[in-house]
Amino acid sequence: MSLFTQLLNALKGKPPGGSDRYIPIYVYSNRCRELIVAQIDIMNEVSLDEDNKGYFVRKVLHTSGKDRCFGQVEIEVWLDHNKEIVRQAVQGGRWLTAAEYQAELTKPIEEVTTDTDGNQQ
């Protein structure tokens, strides 16, 4: 990148790129039993919290709709002044760390069986 381009980007206040700009989010939908991956754009989606000491984000994440299950999980995330996650709340699912997400991906899919009346068990 030329010196002129670097200077122009600095003057424009160009946001950080790549992994600096986004915080990955992993949740599990209780209703659809599905993993959801999302991200928080720290340049556009965060608001100052009530105390003006950190930041707050509220997002509604939707499942993919596979197996005709359409669900949503609501997350609320509080960040400190460095935009690092301090705490989170999840409705309709549960929060996963990156390691827990990877472990869930490797779990075998549960087989659904039906009884003689055609009901799923």
φ, ψ of residue 6 to 5 degrees: the values are -65, -45
The mean per-residue pLDDT over the stretch 64-88 comes to 92
The mean per-residue pLDDT over the stretch 62-78 comes to 91
- Copy the structure tokens of residue 64: 């993919």
Q: d(Cα 64, Cα 34) in Å, to the nearest integer? A: 8
Residue 10 has pLDDT above 90, yes or no: no
Nearest to 26 by CA among 106, 80, 120, 104: 104
DSSP-H helix ranges across the chain: 3-12, 98-106
The mean per-residue pLDDT over the stretch 65-94 comes to 93
pLDDT of 119? 53
What pTM was estimated for this model as a whole?
A: 0.69
pLDDT of 74? 97
- CB distance 63 to 34 below 8 Å: yes
The set of residues, in sequence order, having a beta carbon less than 8 Å from that of 53 and lying 6+ positions away, is 80, 81
Instruction: Convert the pLDDT of each residue in 99-114 to its tens digit.
Output: 999 999 888 766 544 4
112/27: higher pLDDT: 27
pLDDT of 25? 95
